[in-house]
Structure 1
């Protein structure tokens, strides 16, 4: 009875969590897409990446109702095989596209801050669009096998026959999965870390007595991106690595199996927080997004330039 109550509580908690994230993130990312794609707001390299990041986030959070239905059905996947395959494919597609678009934004900010003049010839919107296209194609091809293999299995839960969608929380404990997880996560981890370390060094070395708007804007970007990375992406990949390594060992106890399974659910759920944190980044860093949101809320804000310049530190055309 205790186990049944625990499972029921877990399902209710996750269903409520996904519902809240869905309700917060969908309008916020929809507004971001409207702002970034509106012709009068202009374009820049950063806006190209931000637009694709918002697209990936939107596609991701639109999948959450399927998870709500799953948990509301007490862990029984009632949506069929096709929906299971699509949910798994789109989950990984948008998860890694979001992660890599964040990485692109970080690298672009690194170039703008550390090499403000030399990087002008590299930081062109045409190049950014090509990078985005390559990322979408690469991740799509990498995750395509999910669409062509059976993903639902019959199981027994609390003496009831249920259908389990393996793409929701079950991880493949294979050496190939370990390698792909390590490579997919290490590249953005290294790029993000080095970019922000060098940005902070550049800001500290800037010869200014007071904190200018460009300094504050850059520091906010670093903090918000790192919070997003630490909350949404790091726990999932660390736990996935532990799961794959530990699950192949023979001395695995029932308690550890239960802990690993729960960890999969929790860290997988945390990844969707990305859809809420990114709009916070848009609000604090993008003047057009901020003004649009305040206007919708009935609060006005005096017009202000969307770009700042500062000797030695250039974030012009940043957002």
Structure 2
């Protein structure tokens, strides 16, 4: 069985090498070959519809009805998920490493940088572990890495989810408090406080993710393929109480409650900005809101299908759309560096900017904007206090 998978992988590598050689020697033919491979990769059809060869870069299972020219939706979603997995590994490792380097070592130590560095660390660890999931996808969900890596991979998958959403909630709460209670935050907005909160977030994420390390198991599947999945032993086959409890905790604590906290905090922050007459569009505010929107857009389909799975785990919708939903959820780990990159990139001289310089400008803008809003709130609060104080003294004198 192992030799068979090695042969499959060797064929895929050989296909890529031949494809690169064709590009180098014959660009017109390479364009047609690229178009053919993309069509076969994204829209698998019957063997009678192929243009160049019967070997595809990522072989897909034929559709059940086996009608000519009938697109296999399940294979399409599987192939798109492989693309998303690959982008997650490549872009996520590169982008999050640069964010950690810039925010952690190139910028001055500030509270906002503590949040961003911890968020990037969680995403970086997650992207490294997605290498195993990518190999699993290429081998048709066969898991050759053993029990420990199966548990470890599942643990970090959900640890990243909980840690990221908790940190986004902390960032939104911190921003709201800085706008509404600037004097209080000026006194308590310290580096050691941010580090303690970050440690608490990691501990909470570890606690919520520990059941997935305990219950993740390797077991034999169909066609002698080894599977790695969540296996909760119940008293009867119909009893899914423990598994439904894990699904409910994941949905409520990992999606619903943090979303409500973030939504309320940013609404209050927006009202506070208008109250202080700071109505100018904030570039950093747009980026922070974009981080939240991107996270929930990527994870919302995953959690929606989770609810479907709780009701009916044999629903055909799961088989078609769950690979795509998982790929979108994984892709969220490399969205944050892309947003930082877009924010730090300037139109003028964009071809002469270094990658580190772009990220340094973006992350510095976030902290600078938050400091500006905090100082404006403090000045307005102090003016209000100075205006109220004489009135109070006059009232006391009259008494």
TM-score over 0.5 for the pair: yes
C-alpha separation between the residues in 2 aligned to 1:92 and 1:207?
A: 41
> Structure 1 segments of 4 or more deviating over 6 A?
298-305
**Distance of aligned partners of 1:284 and 1:120 in 2 relative to their CA distance in 1, 3 Å threshold:** farther
Aligned-residue CA RMSD in angstroms?
A: 3.3
Partner of 2:192: 126
Choose between structure 1 and 2: higher helix proportion: 2
Q: Does 1:196 find its partner at 2:263?
A: no
Could you tell me which residue of structure 2 aligns to residue 72 of structure 1?
A: 138
Which residue does the alignment assign to 1:52? 118
Inter-partner Cα distance in structure 1 for 2:156 and 2:361: 39
Alignment of 1:1-319 (within 5 A): 1-3=62-64, 7-38=74-105, 41-149=107-215, 151-156=217-222, 160-167=223-230, 174-181=243-250, 182-207=252-277, 211=280, 215-222=282-289, 224-247=290-313, 257-283=315-341, 295-297=353-355, 306=365, 307-308=368-369, 309-310=372-373, 312-313=376-377
Q: Distance in 2 between matches of 1:150 and 1:312?
A: 51
Tell whether the 8 Å contact from 1:11 to 1:72 is kept in structure 2 after alignment: no
Rounded to whole Å, the distance in 2 between the matches of 1:302 and 1:72 is: 37
Equivalent pair of 1:81/1:151 in contact (CA under 8 Å): yes
Structure 1 CA distance, aligned partners of 2:344 and 2:76? 39
Alpha-carbon distance change, 282 to 125 in structure 1, aligned in 2, over 3 angstroms:
farther
Distance 2:202 2:360 in 1: 38
Q: Which runs of 5+ in 2 are unaligned?
A: 1-61, 67-71, 232-239, 379-399
Distance 1:302 1:80 in 2: 41
The secondary structure found in structure 2 opposite 1:117 is helix
> How many residues are treated as equivalent by the alignment?
291
Q: Tell me the distance in 1 between the aligned counterparts of 2:195 and 2:343.
A: 21
Residues 86-141 of structure 1 deviation map (CA, whole Å, 9 limit, x = unaligned)? 11011111111111111111111112223222222232221111111112122213
Specify which structure has the bigger relative contact order, considering alpha-carbon pairs within 8 angstroms and separated by 6 or more residues.
1
Aligned to 1:250: none
Offset of residue 165 of structure 1? 1.1
Using the size of structure 2 for normalisation, the TM-score is 0.64
Deviates more, 1:138-147 or 1:52-61: 138-147
